[in-house]
Amino acid sequence: MRKLTRSLILAGIAGAVLAPSAAHAATPETTTALLGTYGFGRAAVIGEAGRAAGTWETFSVRSGFAGDDLIVTYRPRTAAYPVEKQVYTAAFDQVPDAQAECQQVGAEGVAHRVWVSFRCRTGFAPNYTLFVG
């Protein structure tokens, strides 16, 4: 009986010591990747909105010939957010094709595992809001 009690105590201590490291190992490390290339000036708007929404930690913009590259630092997701997040709204007077931009940002976010799902909702004026899950 004494050996059994001692074994149970040691197993409990080992579990208590190893549990935090196992939980820590389950959290993915941050990743920095190019999310996509958007119209000039749009990458900064999308980057700031995504940071404010909590979908990525930091972002940077690199200007090129075809537009602005949006580079984001985030934790890859394998499960949807508990509650859908609103990332940003693009209005018709801000971008030539708000629906196409919303679809592009949403799809690139899924491809990079920034979020696991998305939808674009149209508003009263021709604008699109990106929601992610």
* Per-residue pLDDT tens digits of the chain, which is 133 residues long: 555 445 444 445 444 444 444 444 567 799 999 999 999 999 999 999 999 999 999 999 999 888 999 999 999 999 999 999 999 999 888 888 999 999 999 999 999 999 999 999 998 777 899 999 9
DSSP secondary structure of 44-84: HHHHHHHHHHTS-SEEEEEE-SSSEEEEEEE---SS--SS-
**Assigned domain for 8 exists:** no
Q: Give dist(CA 76, CA 108) in Å, integer.
A: 13
Look at residue 113 and tell me if it is in a domain.
yes
Beta bridge partners of 98: none
Bridge partner list, 120: 130
| The pLDDT value given to residue 3 | 55
Within a domain: 75: yes
Tell me which residue range forms the domain holding 108: 31-132
Task: Please check whether residue 99 lies inside any domain of the structure.
Answer: yes
Identify the CA nearest to 32 among candidates 1, 62, 64.
Answer: 62
CA of residue 115 relative to chain centroid, distance: 5
pLDDT of residue 26: 61
> Does some domain include residue 39?
yes
Domain tally, the chain: 1
Q: Is there a domain that residue 73 lies in?
A: yes
